[in-house]
């Protein structure tokens, strides 16, 4: 089965990545502005990054040029970080404890399993305790420091077998020093390798039998394993599955099915399960599950889509691997060439910071400038349910914190990890997580999970408090775990999440798991609150289930992945104030909660129907004081719902047609009036004074009426096509604000230059003998032109000479605004009527101001008299270049 391999390098260009994530390449106009947040009364304590320049003593580490017998100076660096930590503890005995010590690591890859003493996901290969307070661990200047959770192997490969598909399976022996139980990920040349497996649709799920309930979790508690859950049934999961005949052609050949795992979605796809395979029945296409299912807390009697991995007989694609633990043999199928670097996972927790208790916490520690990567996955380790919700979490992580104070994690990269990126468990006060990147993580990026004594969160202090999560880049998380988030907050208080970019994730970007102490079924920001807690959030030292308000403000939320609500206040969420959020493709949900305030928010369905959301502005479901939907306030929110493109097309058509008609009739009515009336002050500007006025004879009126009607009909018929072409080759903005004066000016100049070039050469072409005789001569029927004459044209001439010249540049220009197009039509129609007017009027003729540059009535009147010369429209440029410019005035 073909699988997926992650890209090796993180993407740290925020500007480019932000534009890609927000699909800004599809925006009409992009403006940049730095937001200055409003002054708010909030209790969040912002911790400044520890200044490493204040280091009292610095210990250097250099893997490639160091020794643990050296003294840790720059010239004689230590080799391992663990030994450097031990040295700083010795230094503490001779220096004041409040002195800041620094461990500065030179560039290179540090395989931490070499000195690891535990495989726990809660105790790091680098273990920092209370004895390590006032410590900085950092990279040296801009050198790239990589902490790796695996072992680099130099293997002796040989051919195992050539497959029928043309591939080759290689094999190698694993050294006896490797812990095979921790070897569950293989990284090749810095990329994930793949487990061999397959995916099929289920014919039938085997129904649950004995209900293990909450016993699958550690600790064994779960809202859905009580006598009477809020709704639905007790926590159950299927005990196996059956697929259709022929779907598993190799199942009869499976020699060790118990090596395999089933990855299955919950039937409603809000979570996923992982099961060990207990047994199979190849004749009945049945797979029976063993241990598993605890990665999601709600349960269901059936699942959704599934796939099976780690079955040797399903080995059929490049970059797949399999470990035979009995013979300690690693099998691998390369692509075209064999990879150079093989790293096998050995540990899941790289760094842990832990005090012995909240009274004796590890304090003032900073981790900065490191890359943490290539660890073991933890999806089959213990999970627990932190509060009354559907989520289960693994209380372990790559960087694990418990009983800490004033910890700063900044400018690190968490990439290709088998567990959570950062885990804050129980008491952690004033943790700052800033300017990090989390990418290609199996589970969540940052989780905060506290604990209580049942409902009592007042008499215990085992919760993360005053956490700052700011300016982090989080994407491609939840690779294995569907029920995961970039930020998960459970039984925690006073968490500030500011200025982070989160995208390409399987569920909510921010999941507030409960209402403890806090300031296709979810949204980018998801909250729950099924379980009340006692705390003194409202009034110090006075326990109450009433909590202080939580704020969600100034977020841009793109709900474009078929979920429900950008901000989803689910299942009893209370005490929220949401303001100044811009929410795309979605609205807002308040479900079974109360005491919520929404103001100054914008909800938009910009260019699609509401299939990606509810399309509802406000739906108040089951309001009942004391139960749900009470004490809710909505003030000054804006809802913009989808409208059909027909509206924009009609707007375009009406505006262009109205612009044309306004100029056409106002100017021509004026010309008709002065043609029938002798006005000496105007007549002196007539160009052909030697001829009598037209006075519009009946035949002339007939021809002009016929030409005008045809021109009007052709205009109405071509406008829909023009609208389509303007959007096919670019985009015309109808609703957005008018562009800047600079943009309008340069686009109009561009239109004039393009039109003048095209008009000159098509006009010149129509004066060749055959085309003039059969097509263009109709336009020259009147030697003494007037404004209405310009509509007298053959349809082919009108299309090629007029429509193409006028519209080609606006069509190919990528971005244009309806206002600019209307202004262009106004200018072009005015100039055309003016050129045919027969009057060289001052002030209102553009040529009056720039006689050398602009073509006008004098040039075009000469052209109509003699049917030659002066082929340009706006400019004299091409006439002068091609020696076709002629200016002669008859008096």
What does the pLDDT read at residue 553?
80
User: For residue 269, is it left (φ>0), alpha (ψ between -120 and 50) or beta?
Assistant: left
Does residue 612 carry a pLDDT above 50?
Answer: no
pLDDT above 90 covers a percentage of the chain that reads 37
Q: Smallest Cα–Cα separation from 621: which of 589, 659, 661, 582?
A: 589
Please state, in angstroms and rounded to a whole number, the distance separating the CA atoms of residues 858 and 846.
12
What does the pLDDT read at residue 57?
94
What does the pLDDT read at residue 119?
77
Name which residue leads in pLDDT, 451 or 549.
451
Name which residue leads in pLDDT, 822 or 585.
822
Q: Which two tokens stand for residue 638?
A: 């804006």
Does residue 520 carry a pLDDT above 60?
Answer: no
Of 116-120, 137-141, 257-261, 824-828, the least confident:
116-120
Name which residue leads in pLDDT, 346 or 194.
346
Of 73-87, 327-341, 414-428, 569-583, the least confident:
569-583
Residues facing residue 274 across a β-bridge: 263
Residues facing residue 854 across a β-bridge: 875
C-beta neighbour count of 880 within 10 angstroms: 13
Q: Which of 12-16, 236-240, 395-399, 454-458 holds the top average pLDDT?
A: 395-399
pTM of the model: 0.69
Does residue 517 carry a pLDDT above 50?
Answer: no
What does the pLDDT read at residue 552?
80
User: For residue 843, is it left (φ>0), alpha (ψ between -120 and 50) or beta?
Assistant: left
Of 464-468, 527-531, 567-571, the least confident:
527-531
CB 60 within 8 A of CB 73: yes
Does residue 69 carry a pLDDT above 90?
Answer: yes
What does the pLDDT read at residue 232?
63
- Domain positions in the chain are 530-642, 662-881
What does the pLDDT read at residue 280?
94
What does the pLDDT read at residue 469?
92
Name which residue leads in pLDDT, 586 or 648.
648
Does residue 314 carry a pLDDT above 70?
Answer: yes
DSSP-derived secondary structure for 380-434: TS--B--SSSS--B-S--SEEEEEEEEEEEES-EEEEESS-SEEEEEEEES-EEE
* pLDDT tens by residue, 852-872: 888 888 888 888 888 889 889
Does residue 112 carry a pLDDT above 80?
Answer: yes
Q: Which two tokens stand for residue 862?
A: 């000469």
What does the pLDDT read at residue 544?
67
Given pLDDT bands bounded at 50, 70 and 90, which one contains residue 518? very low
CB burial of residue 639 (10 Å; 0-12, 13-18, 19+)? middle
Please state, in angstroms and rounded to a whole number, the distance separating the CA atoms of residues 673 and 668.
8
Burial letters for 268-293: b for 16+ Cβ neighbours within 10 Å, e otherwise? eebbbbbbebeebeeeebbbbbeebb
What is the three-class DSSP state of 816? strand
DSSP state of 3: -
Please state, in angstroms and rounded to a whole number, the distance separating the CA atoms of residues 46 and 487.
18
DSSP-derived secondary structure for 588-614: EEE-S-EEEEEES-EEE--SS-GGGS-
Of 222-231, 239-248, 440-449, 634-643, the least confident:
222-231
Q: Smallest Cα–Cα separation from 323: which of 192, 187, 172?
A: 172
What does the pLDDT read at residue 172?
96
* pLDDT tens by residue, 358-397: 899 999 999 999 999 999 999 999 888 887 677 889 999 9
CB burial of residue 873 (10 Å; 0-12, 13-18, 19+)? buried
Does residue 342 carry a pLDDT above 50?
Answer: yes
Q: Which of 25-34, 304-313, 401-410, 581-590 holds the top average pLDDT?
A: 401-410
DSSP-derived secondary structure for 734-786: SSSPPPPHHHHHHHHHHHHHHHHHHHHHHHHHHTSHHHHHHTGGGGGS-SS--
DSSP-derived secondary structure for 649-697: HHHHHHHHHHHHHHHHHHHHHHHHHHHHS--HHHHTTBS-TTS------
Residues 6+ apart with CB under 8 A from 528: 387, 388, 389, 390, 511, 512, 513, 514, 515, 570, 571, 572, 573
Residues 6+ apart with CB under 8 A from 255: 312, 313
Of 233-247, 446-460, 822-836, the least confident:
446-460
* pLDDT tens by residue, 265-285: 988 888 899 999 999 999 899
What is the three-class DSSP state of 291? strand
Across the chain, what does the average pLDDT equal?
82
Q: State the distance between the two ends of the chain, measured CA to CA, in whole angstroms.
A: 90
Does residue 190 carry a pLDDT above 80?
Answer: yes
* pLDDT tens by residue, 483-493: 899 999 888 88
What does the pLDDT read at residue 537?
64
C-alpha to C-alpha distances, 158 to 329, 500, 566, nearest whole angstrom:
11, 48, 53
Instruction: Give the largest Cα separation in the chain, rounded.
Output: 115
* pLDDT tens by residue, 408-434: 999 999 999 999 999 999 999 999 999
Does residue 235 carry a pLDDT above 80?
Answer: no
Tell me the mean pLDDT in the region 569-595: 78
What does the pLDDT read at residue 147?
97
Given pLDDT bands bounded at 50, 70 and 90, which one contains residue 157? very high
* pLDDT tens by residue, 717-735: 888 888 888 888 888 888 7
Q: Which two tokens stand for residue 396?
A: 């372990």
Given pLDDT bands bounded at 50, 70 and 90, which one contains residue 30? low
Please calculate the CA angle 387-392-397 and round it to the nearest 5 degrees: 110
Does residue 838 carry a pLDDT above 90?
Answer: no
Given pLDDT bands bounded at 50, 70 and 90, which one contains residue 294? confident
Given pLDDT bands bounded at 50, 70 and 90, which one contains residue 43? very low
Of 221-235, 329-343, 515-529, 683-697, the least confident:
515-529
pLDDT above 70 covers a percentage of the chain that reads 82
* pLDDT tens by residue, 586-598: 667 777 778 888 8
Tell me the mean pLDDT in the region 732-755: 89
Q: Which of 90-99, 277-286, 802-811 holds the top average pLDDT?
A: 277-286
What is the three-class DSSP state of 843? coil
Q: Smallest Cα–Cα separation from 438: which of 392, 387, 472, 485?
A: 472
Q: Which two tokens stand for residue 225?
A: 């394993």
DSSP-derived secondary structure for 326-377: TTTEEEE--SSS--S-EEEE--S-SEEEE-SSSTT-EEEEEEESEEEE----
């Amino acid at each position: 089965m073909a699988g997926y391999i992650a890209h090796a390098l993180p993407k740290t260009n925020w500007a480019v990545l932000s534009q890609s994530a927000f699909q800004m390449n599809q925006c009409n106009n992009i403006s940049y502005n730095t937001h200055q947040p409003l002054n708010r009364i909030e209790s969040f304590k912002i911790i400044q990054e520890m200044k490493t320049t204040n280091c009292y003593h610095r210990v250097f580490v250099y893997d490639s040029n160091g020794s643990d017998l050296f003294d840790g100076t720059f010239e004689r660096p230590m080799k391992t970080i663990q030994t450097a930590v031990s040295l700083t503890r010795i230094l503490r005995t001779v220096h004041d404890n409040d002195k800041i010590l620094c461990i500065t690591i030179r560039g290179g890859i540090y395989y931490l399993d070499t000195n690891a003493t535990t495989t726990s996901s809660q105790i790091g290969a680098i273990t920092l305790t209370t004895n390590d307070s006032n410590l900085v661990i950092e990279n040296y200047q801009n050198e790239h420091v990589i902490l790796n959770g695996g072992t680099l192997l130099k293997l002796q490969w040989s051919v195992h077998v050539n497959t029928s598909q043309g591939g080759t399976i290689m094999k190698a022996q694993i050294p006896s020093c490797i812990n095979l139980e921790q070897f569950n990920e293989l990284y090749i040349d810095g990329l994930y390798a793949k487990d061999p497996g397959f995916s099929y649709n289920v014919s039938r799920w085997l129904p649950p039998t004995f209900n293990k309930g909450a016993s699958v979790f550690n600790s064994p508690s779960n809202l859905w394993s009580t006598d009477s859950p809020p709704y639905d049934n007790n926590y159950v999961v299927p005990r196996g599955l059956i697929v259709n005949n022929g779907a598993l052609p190799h199942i009869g050949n499976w020699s060790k099915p118990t090596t395999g795992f089933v990855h299955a979605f919950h039937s409603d796809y809000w979570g996923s399960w992982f099961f060990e395979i207990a047994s199979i029945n190849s004749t009945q296409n049945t797979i029976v599950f063993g241990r598993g299912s605890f990665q999601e807390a709600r349960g269901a009697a059936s699942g959704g889509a599934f796939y099976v991995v780690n079955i040797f007989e399903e080995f059929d694609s490049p970059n797949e691997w399999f470990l035979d633990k009995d013979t300690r043999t690693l099998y691998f199928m390369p692509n075209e060439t064999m990879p150079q670097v093989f790293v096998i996972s050995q540990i899941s927790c790289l760094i842990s910071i832990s005090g012995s208790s909240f009274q004796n916490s590890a304090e003032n520690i900073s981790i900065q400038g490191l890359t943490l990567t290539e660890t073991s996955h933890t999806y089959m380790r213990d999970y627990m349910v932190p509060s009354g919700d559907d989520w289960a979490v693994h209380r372990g992580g790559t960087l694990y914190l418990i009983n800490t104070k004033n910890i700063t994690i900044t400018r690190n990269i968490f990439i290709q990890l088998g567990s959570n990126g950062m885990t804050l468990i129980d008491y952690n006060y004033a943790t700052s997580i800033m300017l990090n990147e989390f990418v290609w993580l199996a589970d969540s990026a940052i989780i905060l999970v506290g604990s209580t004594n049942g409902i009592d969160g007042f008499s215990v202090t085992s919760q993360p408090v005053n956490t700052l999560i700011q300016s982090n880049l989080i994407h491609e998380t939840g690779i294995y775990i569907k029920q995961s988030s970039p930020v998960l907050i459970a039984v925690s208080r006073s968490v500030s999440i500011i200025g982070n970019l989160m995208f390409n994730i399987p569920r909510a970007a921010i999941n507030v798991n409960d209402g403890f102490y806090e300031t296709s079924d979810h949204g980018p920001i998801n909250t729950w609150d099924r379980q009340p807690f006692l705390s003194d959030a409202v009034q110090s030292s006075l326990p109450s289930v009433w909590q202080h308000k939580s704020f969600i403000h100034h977020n841009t939320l793109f709900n474009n992945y078929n979920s429900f609500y950008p901000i989803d206040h689910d299942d009893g969420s209370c005490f929220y104030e949401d303001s100044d959020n811009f929410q795309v493709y979605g609205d807002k949900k308040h479900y079974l909660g109360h005491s919520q305030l929404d103001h100054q928010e914008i909800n938009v369905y910009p260019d699609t129907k509401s299939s990606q959301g509810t399309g509802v502005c406000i739906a108040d479901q089951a309001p009942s004081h004391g139960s749900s939907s009470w004490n809710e306030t909505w003030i000054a929110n804006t809802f913009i719902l989808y409208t059909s493109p027909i509206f924009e097309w009609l707007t375009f058509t009406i505006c262009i047609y109205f612009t044309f008609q306004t100029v056409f009739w106002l100017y021509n009515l004026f010309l008709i009036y002065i043609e029938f009336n002798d006005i000496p002050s105007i007549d002196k500007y007539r160009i052909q004074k030697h001829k009598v006025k037209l006075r519009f004879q009946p035949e002339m009126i007939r021809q002009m009426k016929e030409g005008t009607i045809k021109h009007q009909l052709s205009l109405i018929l071509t406008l829909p096509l023009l609208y389509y072409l303007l959007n096919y080759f670019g985009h015309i903005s109808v609703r957005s604000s008018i562009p800047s004066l600079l943009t309008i000016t340069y686009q109009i100049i561009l239109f004039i230059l393009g039109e003048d070039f095209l008009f000159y050469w098509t006009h010149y072409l129509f004066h060749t003998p055959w085309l003039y005789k059969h097509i263009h001569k109709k336009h020259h029927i009147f030697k003494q032109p007037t404004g209405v004459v310009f509509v007298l044209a053959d349809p082919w001439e009108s299309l090629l000479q007029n429509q193409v010249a006028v519209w080609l540049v606006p069509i190919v220009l990528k971005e244009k605004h309806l206002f600019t197009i209307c202004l262009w039509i106004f200018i072009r129609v005015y100039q055309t009527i003016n050129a045919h007017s027969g009057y060289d009027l001052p002030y209102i003729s553009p040529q009056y101001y720039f006689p050398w540059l602009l073509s006008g009535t004098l040039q075009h009147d000469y052209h109509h008299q003699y049917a030659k010369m002066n082929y340009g429209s706006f400019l004299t440029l091409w006439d002068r270049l091609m020696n076709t410019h002629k200016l002669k005035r008859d008096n």
